[in-house]
Structure 1
Amino acid sequence: MKTYFRLLSFAKPIEKFAIPYIITTFFAIIFSTLNLALLAPLLQTLFTDKKTGDIVKPLGAAPSYFDIMGTFKYYVQYVINLYGAWGALQFVCAAIVVCALLANLFRYLSQRTMENLRVHTLLNLRRTVFDNVLNLHLGYFSNERKGDIISKIASDVQVVQFSVTSTLQVVFKEPLTLIAYMVWLFAISANLTFYALLVIPVSAFVISRIVKKLKQQAIASQQTYANMISYLDEALSGIKIIKAFNAGDFIKSRFHRENTKYSSINRSMARRQQLASPVSEFFGVSMVAGIVLYGGHLVLNDSSDLTPAEFITYIALFSQVMRPAKAISDSFSNIHSGIAAGERILDLIDTKPAIVDAPHAVALNGFNDAIKFEDVTFSYEEKDVLTHI
């Protein structure tokens, strides 16, 4: 996490993006949840038996605002008593349209804010990496492959910017969405929700086992890609020498060997990344099927206060719980690639020039007489090549 938060520092001032993103995301989640919750009064209004006289009922005392479902039912019944079933149906349909409009408006604003953050982070990160590379001493470029440096600036930065911002998006948006859905599910039926929560830890354990090795594979993949870029640069720079010494077969075999290794690692990573989402979805569908059986048994045998309309709404809400849960599982598989690339980039940023000015060096404003070298010593690593000249 230390690497992640350090990469996040390149998004400063992050509050400029985080505060609008949190506000717009919060309202998008509220209106999206309400849009699904309005299914209950819609179904209740449509399927109420007019012959039983159950349409108009006495309201009684208003429930506590902490009783979400009770308050919801109270005001729906108030509209039915005041305007009738047709008027209540018009009211609920209008509320659904308004909630959908506001939910998508706030979702667009939050995505726009996140895109601005992504571009801003990429700008700062690439600028810092490039400036630090130009400040390094010449000896660094003799010891390091140019292709590896290019790979870090071009490829690794690209991986980091998407992984960091996507993870930041999941940290705020998906947990809030999950909490909103779970609160409403508990309000409809606590027993059904407790039953559903028994299966979630099993799904989380299986997914964590799948993505466990992704970080190691991501590091190997990025290093292999850097080697390929280095071989390509060396081949193009020394093409005349390669042709002169007829070394084409050796250069080809070296590049093809690295290319095959890179493809193999990426294939293995893709299998793990793609497996996390289907596993999450399978457990989600299994939970929905189990809830349909258990909840349907309660409704059919009058063992619960759930009405058929509330039960259908519960199933619709619970099916949406899988979406943020699935996004969170996907983010855990993607963050490992971002952290691995981030470590390579930060290693380049943290590299300091080996040759620096003396603490009390005097700046020369002009050329007055001559340049003299007195008592100069120079060495390559441990071996002196010039001594007291």
Structure 2
Amino acid sequence: SQYIDQVILTHDKTYALQLICVVVIVTVLLANFFRYFSQRYMEDLRVHTLLKLRKAVFDNVMNLHVGFFNNERKGDIISKVASDVQVVQFTVTNTLQVVFKEPVQLIFYVAVLVSISLKLTLFSLLVIPVSGFIISKIVKRLKQQSTLSHESFAKMIGFLDESLSGIKIIKAFNATFRIKEKFQAENQFYSNLNRKMARRQQLASPVSQTLGVFVVVFILLYGGGMILSGNSDLKAGEFVIYLATFSQVMQPIKAITDSFSSIHSGISAGERVLDLIDTKPELTNKVDAVELDHFNNALTIKDVCFNYGDKQVLKNISLTIQKGKTVALVGPSGGGKSTLMDLIPRFHDPKSGTIAIDGFDYKDLTVESIR
């Protein structure tokens, strides 16, 4: 304001008006320029993060042993790769955007407030811990609810996959109505859970803003009363600037509050994704494993036993299959035929006994060369 007054005194009012217009245009252009590049950079970061994270998850899934897929629901795996990864990516990029932008604005505004009135600023900042305590109580159960939401979504994906795979059987036995009811029950549970989560997330921002409004009203009454009575060091203009600046403080506080509530959903999804990434295959090559590049004689199975948990499926199976021969496995359902076939490409290792090809023990060979 002092600079503008100086311009008006030095030049004419028309020049001052033109200068203000130029400043406004340049300010808007610069603001939009930096806003565009910040949004473009964050979008590139968002896409790159999603690309790398989804690739890491899928690569690890492809390296896992076959037994893992027997114990895990297909829908749960699909949900982690498709949905949970996207939630993590969204949370990470949005949180980074808030972390790099909002605290800087908040510190700047607080510095301006302190320069105007330290006493009023110290009082007004009391709303931050109070607001933080109330919001923490509101979003306390968000992580637990978010975990249930991700699991429920995974169940729906798995149920959808099973239904589409067995659509002929479902229609042949007139089970369409029962399948619809079962899917709708899970769908309703998922919707209700998301509705509860949304209510909690949406409650955090109004609470912080309401507390901020109460502080503004108190400052207006307290500070305005002192100015009117002549007991304040602040001038009326400075007090108006103080109120205007304090109103701007609420925007970064609101953004930080919103990010805290969304972080809980990201943490829940992140734990599920990391659980899948950290899962290691049970079958790994020995350090000195041999690369088998030929098959000349026979495949030998000797005294092989295999269990699924406590249930023994194969017991002391011995078999020699010469190269070029055809062998038929005959037996009742559940007799272990498929299990024995799974042992040949080393989808599993037997609990005891050995499998060898041309005299080389399977465990001394690389899995890739066996297959």
Work out the CA distance in 2 between the residues paired with 1:376 and 1:212.
56
Amino acid at match of 1:363: E
Retained in 2: the 8 A contact 1:185–1:317? yes
Work out the CA distance in 1 between the residues paired with 2:116 and 2:272.
49
Q: Does 1:385 align with 2:314?
A: yes
Secondary structure, counterpart of 2:26 in structure 1: helix
Q: Which position in structure 1 is the counterpart of 2:297?
A: 370
User: Is 237-246 or 317-326 further displaced after alignment?
Assistant: 237-246
User: Is 292-301 or 319-328 further displaced after alignment?
Assistant: 292-301
Work out the CA distance in 2 between the residues paired with 1:378 and 1:246.
42
Work out the CA distance in 2 between the residues paired with 1:112 and 1:294.
45
Amino acid at match of 2:51: L
Q: Which position in structure 2 is the counterpart of 1:34?
A: none
Work out the CA distance in 2 between the residues paired with 1:165 and 1:132.
23
Q: Does 1:239 align with 2:142?
A: no
Matches within 5 A, 1:142-291: 142-291=70-219
Secondary structure, counterpart of 1:175 in structure 2: helix
Cα deviation for residue 78 of structure 1 reads 4.6
User: Is 218-227 or 196-205 further displaced after alignment?
Assistant: 196-205
Q: Which position in structure 2 is the counterpart of 1:120?
A: 48
Work out the CA distance in 1 between the residues paired with 2:308 and 2:48.
40
Matches within 5 A, 1:12-23: none
Q: Which position in structure 1 is the counterpart of 2:249?
A: 321
Amino acid at match of 1:307: K
Work out the CA distance in 2 between the residues paired with 1:125 and 1:228.
23
Retained in 2: the 8 A contact 1:277–1:330? yes
Work out the CA distance in 2 between the residues paired with 1:386 and 1:379.
7
- 1:332–1:144 Cα change, 3 Å: same
Amino acid at match of 1:164: V
Secondary structure, counterpart of 1:354 in structure 2: coil
Q: Which position in structure 2 is the counterpart of 1:38?
A: none
Work out the CA distance in 2 between the residues paired with 1:324 and 1:203.
14
Cα deviation for residue 92 of structure 1 reads 4.8
Secondary structure, counterpart of 2:314 in structure 1: strand
Q: How many residues align?
A: 316
Matches within 5 A, 1:83-102: 83=11, 90-102=18-30
Secondary structure, counterpart of 1:373 in structure 2: strand
- 1:122–1:271 Cα change, 3 Å: same
Cα deviation for residue 247 of structure 1 reads 3.0
Secondary structure, counterpart of 1:183 in structure 2: helix
Cα deviation for residue 86 of structure 1 reads 6.1
Q: Which runs of 5+ in 2 are unaligned?
A: 319-371
Secondary structure, counterpart of 1:387 in structure 2: strand
Q: Does 1:359 align with 2:287?
A: yes
Work out the CA distance in 2 between the residues paired with 1:93 and 1:187.
28
Work out the CA distance in 1 between the residues paired with 2:15 and 2:237.
19
Cα deviation for residue 79 of structure 1 reads 4.0
Secondary structure, counterpart of 1:246 in structure 2: coil
- 1:204–1:84 Cα change, 3 Å: farther
Work out the CA distance in 1 between the residues paired with 2:212 and 2:47.
34
Q: Does 1:341 align with 2:269?
A: yes
Amino acid at match of 2:299: K
Work out the CA distance in 2 between the residues paired with 1:85 and 1:190.
36
Q: Deviations over 1:229-283 (max 9, x none)?
A: 1111111111222223333343233222211211111111011011111112212
Amino acid at match of 1:206: I
Cα deviation for residue 95 of structure 1 reads 3.3
Greater RCO (CA < 8 Å, at least 6 residues apart): 1
Structure number having the greater strand percentage: 2
Q: Percent identity?
A: 58
Work out the CA distance in 2 between the residues paired with 1:352 and 1:345.
13
Q: Deviations over 1:320-339 (max 9, x none)?
A: 11010000110011000011
Work out the CA distance in 2 between the residues paired with 1:125 and 1:204.
32
Work out the CA distance in 1 between the residues paired with 2:24 and 2:227.
26
Work out the CA distance in 2 between the residues paired with 1:315 and 1:321.
10
Work out the CA distance in 2 between the residues paired with 1:269 and 1:340.
13
**CA RMSD in angstroms, aligned pairs only:** 2.2
Amino acid at match of 1:380: N
Amino acid at match of 1:332: F
Work out the CA distance in 2 between the residues paired with 1:105 and 1:184.
25
Retained in 2: the 8 A contact 1:377–1:384? no
Q: Which position in structure 1 is the counterpart of 2:323?
A: none
- 1:77–1:301 Cα change, 3 Å: farther
Q: Which has the larger radius of gyration?
A: 2
Q: Which position in structure 2 is the counterpart of 1:309?
A: 237
Work out the CA distance in 2 between the residues paired with 1:377 and 1:204.
62
Work out the CA distance in 1 between the residues paired with 2:17 and 2:141.
53
Q: Which position in structure 1 is the counterpart of 2:343?
A: none
Work out the CA distance in 1 between the residues paired with 2:125 and 2:97.
24
